[in-house]
Structure 1
Amino acid sequence: MLRIRHAADRGHFNHGWLDTFHTFSFSEYYDPAHTQFRSLRVMNEDRVAAGQGFGMHGHRDMEILTFVLRGALQHKDSLGNGEVLRPGEVQQMTAGSGIRHSEFNPSDSEEVHLYQVWLLPEKNGLPPGYAQKKFDEAGRDNQWQTSASHDGRDGSLVIHQDATISRASLATGKSLDYALDPRRHAWLQILAGDVTVAGNHLHAGDGLAVSDEAALTVQADSNADLLLFDMA
């Protein structure tokens, strides 16, 4: 079973300094039909203006992943970490029993375009943690590259949830398969480009919920950047 979440149907707020889209209910946006999918709780696409950002704020009991598509994002947190996240890198944060952090666009001229994803953890009260890693871009050319997983396989970041997050850069005309355990579920997020899945045309910002399927085949109609979540 496939269910499309069209980009145009997401919650949208433009605060001037922040242009944000919410796939699932978040902050001021509430849609009872789209509160989460399995353990996937937040899928936010943000564009933050130059010299702007989110001040220090707190989170608890959430696994948070951040992917920068363009620009740079400066991170500081209550654990003492201070990093700049750039395209090709992935940031993982276990909010656990409590963490505070800020996110800021350090550029004086360029906006930062990013996706931030939250997953519910396997249990509450975990020790807070932070990790960041740069992945070889060639490793996702027309193939799935594991960004995060429960067991850290293939050099991926570790998350505290039974989920595997993979990314792929698919060239126009190429297709890519993903074998699924029919007892599990998947979410495909189109970060950029256009693809076709089982006759469904998907575009940047669209999401696809997948259940009771043994495989997924993605055909690129234009160069595409994809995130795939394989979840219990």
Structure 2
Amino acid sequence: MKKILYPSSSRGHANHGWLNTHHSFSFANWFNPDQMHFGALRVLNDDEIAGGMGFGTHPHKDMEIVTIPLEGDLEHKDSMGNSGVIKAGDVQVMSAGTGIEHSEFNHNKDEACKLLQIWVFPRKKHVEPRYDQITLDQSKMKNQFSQVVSPNQNDEGVWVHQNTWFHLAELDDGKSIDYKVKGGANNGVYFFLLEGRVNVGDETLNKRDAVGIWDTKSIPVEATEKSKLLAIEIPMENWED
């Protein structure tokens, strides 16, 4: 088993007034050569958008983009004609492929919107752009890993053009579960703790800490207080054409 610990304090931070953001990997004006990506996981931004504010129309290309709202409501519009609002308990995916443009704004004027935006390198470039969103069944996260993203169109959750699986778990104090690697020996798992305190392998994570683990088939997880955990299984090499 190999691992890299990413303490919350190691993340990049920028406060633009309308946007308070933390970057797990190098992004925008924050650059750390030791935190460029974890395998095919390129971006994990932990964003807080002020009421009524947001990102104007901007382009993306050849990236799988997953948005997980944590609090509040996010309004979305894109060049494919999609528009709507996603909220806590939803997951949104965009395959940027040959190119898309979109905007994202806090739907509410009087409260912040908090979200994770995650970028994954695709296994194949220049795909046709696509959009999807779902509402999660929160009960499936209770003391177990609930799949929210996969590489399979007919599987649970949304799907992306990559050999990656995202799972969310809400764990009671003292609960132990194992993460079983799905994608074979080439895949590793990036664990990002949203709330609480957990032991992942022999590492203890506090809120917003992360650890990347690979070269193993199973990873033990134990909550030492009520916790919410995101696990992103991702190819570690040979992931970009």
Q: Using structure 1 for the length normalisation, give the TM-score.
A: 0.96
Residues of 1 paired with 2:29 and 2:205: CA distance?
Answer: 27
Q: Secondary structure at the match of 1:139?
A: helix
Give the match for residue 238 of structure 2: none
CA deviations over 1:5-62 (Å, ceiling 9, x no partner): 0111100001111100001011111111110111100010000111110111110000
Cα deviation for residue 155 of structure 1 reads 2.4
Deviations 1:70-120 (A, max 9, x none): 111111101111111111110000111111111100112110111000000
Shift of 1:174: 1.0
Counterpart residue number, 1:7: 8
**Structure 2 stretches lacking a partner, 5+ long:** 236-241
Shift in Å at residue 214 of structure 1? 2.5
Pairwise CA RMSD of aligned residues?
1.2
SS in 1 for 2:144: coil
The answer to whether the aligner puts 1:131 opposite 2:140 as a matched pair is no
For residues 32 and 72 of structure 2, the distance between their equivalents in structure 1, rounded to whole angstroms, comes to 30
Matched, 1:214 2:217: yes
Following TM superposition, by how much is the alpha carbon of 1:218 offset from its aligned partner in structure 2, in angstroms? 1.2
Unaligned runs of 5+ in 1: none
Which residue of 1 is the match for residue 55 of structure 2?
A: 54
Contact 2:73/2:85, CA 8 A, preserved across alignment: yes
Q: Tell whether 2:164 aligns with 1:163.
A: yes
Residue type matched to 2:231 in 1? Answer: L
Does the CA-based 8 Å contact 2:49-2:114 persist in structure 1?
yes
C-alpha contact (below 8 Å) 2:150/2:156 kept by paired residues: no
Map of 1:190 onto structure 2: 193
Alignment-derived partner of residue 202 in structure 2? 199
Bigger shift: 173-182 or 25-34? 173-182
Q: What are the residue-to-residue correspondences of 1:145-156 with 2, within 5 Å?
A: 145-156=146-157
Letter of the 2:232 partner, please give it.
F
**Correspondence for 2:73:** 72
Write the distance in 2 (CA, Å) between the matches of 1:224 and 1:71: 20
Normalising by structure 2, we get a TM-score of 0.93
Cα separation, 2, equivalents of 1:97 and 1:169: 36
1:125-180: CA deviation from partner (whole Å, max 9, x where unpaired): 11111000001100111111111111135422110001111111112221111123
TM alignment of 1:3-152, pairs within 5 A: 3-152=4-153
Q: Secondary structure at the match of 2:123?
A: coil
Task: Provide the secondary structure at the position in 2 that maps to 1:8.
Answer: helix
Q: Percent identity?
A: 38
**Cα distance, 1:183 vs. partner?**
4.0
- Cα distance 1:133–1:158, how it changes in 2: closer, same or farther (>3 A)? same
Runs (4+) of structure 1 moved beyond 2 Å?
152-155, 180-184
Change (3 A) 1:187 1:153: farther
Helix, strand or coil: the match of 1:191? strand
SS of residue paired to 1:155? coil
Counterparts of 1:6 and 1:199, CA distance in 2: 15
